[in-house]
Structure 1
Amino acid sequence: MNSLSGYNSTLSSFDSLLPNLSSLLSGGLLLGSANGASSASSSAPSDPIQVELSTLGQLMSVLNTFQSSLQQIYAPYNRFNNTSASSSNPAVASVSASASAQTSSYLLNISQLAQAQSATTAFSLPDSGSTVVGSGSLTITTGTYAYTSSTSATSFSATGTPTTVSISNGTLSSIASSINGAGAGVVANVIQNSSGNYQLQISQANTGASNNFRITVSDNDGNNTDQSGLSRLAFDQTLAVGSGQNLTQTQAAQNASYTVNGASGSSASNLGIQLGSGVSANLLATGSSNIAVNVDFGMLNSNAQSLVSAFNTAQGSINGLLGNQVKPGNDPIAALLPQLLNQKVQASYNNGSSTLTLLSQLGLLYQSPSQYGLGGTLNLNVSSLQAAYNSDASGSANLIFTAAQALNTLANSYTSYGNGTLVNETNALLARQRTNNLVINTPATPNSFPYNLQNLLSYPSSNSALTAQQIAGIASYALVYSIGAPYALESLLVGQGLGLPASGGFSATA
């Protein structure tokens, strides 16, 4: 077995060797390059994967915007608030429709409006703010009379809490103001009669046959029911006229009476009369009116315009992306999208009992693209839409909603996370790009060495510092070479002027 003795410390460390070799080896000589490292191209070509990823990202953005527009068209607010109601005689009745209203029509006949009970002073005064009526207090109670005639009752049943209003030297105006400020369930007004004099009128705050009122008086003159002083404002229809029933009833409380499509109805109020599901009317006068509830054409037209705009914008953007970067031959998944969208706007849809099944029947007319494979466009003919609306308003609206949903479903098959085709394609390209980058950025393992050390040292010294791989390569190479031919190595190193001592530093024993 061979062994080395007297191994020179100068050769035991490659620190003195490597600085002299670094300029010769930094160009990749240990990798077998005879000419050193070549300079990188000043203008590296674009990564085709990155180009397609960018385009697919733009395509996803286009589809997301498209879907947002479509979802607004068939959103619950639009779908269930797209009806309007009209009255043929708005002086007789006004009408409104809620979200649950269905297309319908009603014939409303009003024979009697609901009224509030009103009573007026039997006396009048030449002024409303200076002549004193009296002093004392008024106790006002709301409730229901059991009538034997329009002005006479056997009893009064209170439904409200009695309210007492103090009056001191009250004039008509001050008494009205005090009553209204008390919140007693009645309304007081000073009115001027045909002769120019003034009277006080008191009315129930609510209409309806069961909404009446009673006023009892505590008069400072000591008589609470006579025709003098404050007692002139007493009003109790269970008492005699002029003796406790001192106000004169000018309007009796009554309910509204009407028929809806021949069916009789009655209401204590003239407001919010239910004609059908989600349809109500306010009664304004006696008479007749035809009430129609239908899809609002303005909203239908707006939805149709929105569908056309969303489709044309999306297809225009897709055409630009596919025509410029994603070639049909390279990306058949993306290239198929505009053709599928073209098919959707020309498709026939199930529309319940309606005969309207094609968008073209609504005036949404498809125009083919100038080049096969690109996206087409839609144009709206408003006259055709109006004609379709006039023949089947509900069917027209439902077809717009159905088509918008179908287009959104198609777009979602490309954009949905987890199973969207564009999402999956993007993920696959990203994985491929990561693999490529890993290969490119992983340094090559040195596996080629110069033929001998003389060859190693013969290169010009014009390169930069060594890499870690080159340093490791030199160490291994020199070690093996020195073991195999120690004297030749020393002589060679000395001959190259590397500053090693001329005396031998090696000895070998067998």
Structure 2
Amino acid sequence: MATISSPGIGSGLDVSSIVSQLVALEKAPLAPLQTQASSLKTKLSLYGTIKSQVSALGDAAAKLAGTSGWNTASATSSNSAAISVKASAGATPTTLSMQVQQLARSQTTTSTSVATDATIGSGTLSIQLGQWSGSSFAAGSADAVDITVADTDTLTDIAAKINNAGAGVNATVLKDANGERLLLNAKDTGLANGFRITASDDDGNDADASGLSRLAFDGSGTTGTIQTQSAQNALATINGASIETASNQLSDTVPGLTLQLSQVTTSPVSINVVIDNDTIRSNVQAFVTAYNALNTTLANATKYDEATQTAGTLQGDSTAVGLQNALRSMMRSYTDGGSYTRLADIGISLQTGGTMTLDSTKFDKALTSNFDGLKNLFTVNSGSTTSDGFGRKIKTFAQGLLDSEGTLTNRSDALQKAITRNSDEQTKVTDRATRAEARFLAQYNAMDAAVAKFNGLSSFVSQQITLWNKSS
């Protein structure tokens, strides 16, 4: 008898539908697992947002936790075209009177003209940095740099070799109606950064104005290269005290200030350094803003909306609720800061719902009338995290939450593990349903084949009985 190839043909039953329904029963546990997986992933994503906002709050607190966040200063110059000034953290509020008698400059030289693209001669140029005193030269500590010149090299080739040698000078080729000249200038300004160029000329004469020696400068005036500008230091006075520097930029003369000298002055220039209140105010506002962002996220995630009867994603989540309560409690806590002990003392208050507001009038009064007390409220180190300054305690609290064993890290890790377990359970259900489907099909196909066989036998018997009756 032929094998049944389509389920149900032999028996007349809808085997495919029956097996499909049985498999659906096997897969029934998938629906709650998928719902659970979606919830876990949403929670994990939300905890990612919370961790990011805790990190932002910690960074904002860190700016206020140390003295550097309060030592911001701004500086102005009464003549910025002559002397510009920039203040960095740690600059002391002060007023300086400054004059510039001389600007620092670098040594420059120029050679005599040669025909455009002409060769110069072969040999070696030796460039030595140091200091000139009249026609006398004192070599500096750096070794001389040798430049090998071929007899096919033009001024352009020689300039490129000098620039690539790192000899402390820059080379440029100047072209005009008379031909080409080699211009050299020291990379750095100042007396100690002058340079001397000696030639070892293959024509046998190292000190004449022909061959390679025409590019030499040794102060003798016998070669073809002359000095067009001598090196010199900057000379200035600050509050009447004379200073001398190799650079026109003074970065360590006055702690915390960078002074750029651009012009010789004819009258005193006033440099004023004050505490940068705008930056401090901005840092405190950033702290308030970072806290409010985190508070809003936690409030929305843990609330229950009576109107819509909808629970927040983390409603009832002990970690989120605990964090929310701990933050609000911390913002209401005290410090051993001295004249100010609470955030409310300087105009930062908690509103209904946990949001913080900054009263600019009250804060500015504290900033201008009691700066040290304001700073201590955030920076004081009492020896106890509960009474430390708010910058220090919030910074420490945020770090603890985000550490490898911190509360938020552990909660995120737990959610990730739960998602992995859920995925494994879904795989098990799917595999079990696949095996069941194969088993059901095999069973129903076997039944189908048996019914088909019995139906065939019944038909045969009926035919024989009919034949017997005709014979009778």
Shorter chain as normaliser: what TM range? 0.5 to 0.7
How much has 1:163 moved relative to structure 2?
0.9
Aligned equivalent of 2:127, options 131, 141, 147: 141
Question: 1:429-454: CA deviations, max 9, x gaps?
Answer: xxxxxxxxxxxxxxxxxxxxxxxxxx
Distance 2:299 2:376 in 1: 24
Distance 1:346 1:90 in 2: 47
- Identity in percent: 28
Q: What is the letter of the counterpart of residue 234 of structure 2?
A: A
Aligned equivalent of 1:184, options 154, 167, 173: 167
Are residues 103 and 405 of structure 1, via their aligned partners in 2, closer, same or farther at CA, if it must alter by over 3 Å?
A: same
Question: 1:97-140: CA deviations, max 9, x gaps?
Answer: 26xx255346354443332221122x345x7x43x262022422
Aligned equivalent of 1:112, options 95, 102, 118: 102
Report what 2:291 is aligned to: 307
Report what 1:228 is aligned to: 210
Report what 2:197 is aligned to: 215
Question: 1:205-249: CA deviations, max 9, x gaps?
Answer: 332212222212233444332233432222112x3x2x24x4222
Gaps (5+ residues) in structure 1?
A: 1-56, 326-333, 370-374, 421-510
Distance 1:319 1:408 in 2: 27
Q: What is the letter of the counterpart of residue 377 of structure 1?
A: T
Are residues 406 and 79 of structure 1, via their aligned partners in 2, closer, same or farther at CA, if it must alter by over 3 Å?
A: closer
How much has 1:177 moved relative to structure 2?
1.8
Asked if the contact 1:120–1:248 (Cα under 8 Å) also holds between the matched residues in 2, the reply is yes
Asked if the contact 2:61–2:395 (Cα under 8 Å) also holds between the matched residues in 1, the reply is no
Structure number with larger C-alpha Rg: 1
How much has 1:95 moved relative to structure 2?
2.8
Once structures 1 and 2 are overlaid, which stretch shifts more, 67-76 or 199-208? 67-76
Distance 1:158 1:414 in 2: 55
Matched, 1:201 2:183: yes
Are residues 143 and 66 of structure 1, via their aligned partners in 2, closer, same or farther at CA, if it must alter by over 3 Å?
A: closer
User: How do 1:253-292 residues align onto structure 2 when only pairs under 5 Å count?
Assistant: 253-260=231-238, 262-271=240-249, 273-287=251-265, 288=269, 290=271, 292=273
TM-score where L is the length of structure 1: 0.51
Are residues 266 and 356 of structure 1, via their aligned partners in 2, closer, same or farther at CA, if it must alter by over 3 Å?
A: farther
Question: What is the DSSP-based 3-state SS (H/G/I as helix, E as strand, rest coil) of the residue aligned with 1:189?
Answer: strand
Report what 2:86 is aligned to: 95
Asked if the contact 1:305–1:380 (Cα under 8 Å) also holds between the matched residues in 2, the reply is no
Question: What is the DSSP-based 3-state SS (H/G/I as helix, E as strand, rest coil) of the residue aligned with 2:206?
Answer: coil
How much has 1:266 moved relative to structure 2?
2.9
Q: What is the letter of the counterpart of residue 290 of structure 1?
A: I
Question: What is the DSSP-based 3-state SS (H/G/I as helix, E as strand, rest coil) of the residue aligned with 1:269?
Answer: coil
Distance 2:121 2:186 in 1: 23
Distance 2:298 2:157 in 1: 71
How much has 1:366 moved relative to structure 2?
3.6
Q: What is the letter of the counterpart of residue 122 of structure 2?
A: G
Gaps (5+ residues) in structure 2?
A: 1-42, 312-319, 380-388, 408-472
Question: 1:249-294: CA deviations, max 9, x gaps?
Answer: 2222222334455544333234462144454445444454626364
TM-score where L is the length of structure 2: 0.54
Are residues 305 and 67 of structure 1, via their aligned partners in 2, closer, same or farther at CA, if it must alter by over 3 Å?
A: closer
Matched, 1:71 2:58: yes
Are residues 197 and 379 of structure 1, via their aligned partners in 2, closer, same or farther at CA, if it must alter by over 3 Å?
A: farther
Are residues 415 and 158 of structure 1, via their aligned partners in 2, closer, same or farther at CA, if it must alter by over 3 Å?
A: closer
Q: What is the letter of the counterpart of residue 214 of structure 1?
A: R
Are residues 180 and 363 of structure 1, via their aligned partners in 2, closer, same or farther at CA, if it must alter by over 3 Å?
A: same
Distance 2:300 2:208 in 1: 89
Question: What is the DSSP-based 3-state SS (H/G/I as helix, E as strand, rest coil) of the residue aligned with 1:226?
Answer: coil
Distance 2:397 2:145 in 1: 68
How much has 1:154 moved relative to structure 2?
6.5
Distance 1:315 1:403 in 2: 22
Distance 1:341 1:236 in 2: 74
RMSD of aligned Cα (Å)? 5.3
Are residues 211 and 63 of structure 1, via their aligned partners in 2, closer, same or farther at CA, if it must alter by over 3 Å?
A: closer
Are residues 224 and 360 of structure 1, via their aligned partners in 2, closer, same or farther at CA, if it must alter by over 3 Å?
A: same
Question: 1:458-489: CA deviations, max 9, x gaps?
Answer: xxxxxxxxxxxxxxxxxxxxxxxxxxxxxxxx
Asked if the contact 2:87–2:258 (Cα under 8 Å) also holds between the matched residues in 1, the reply is yes
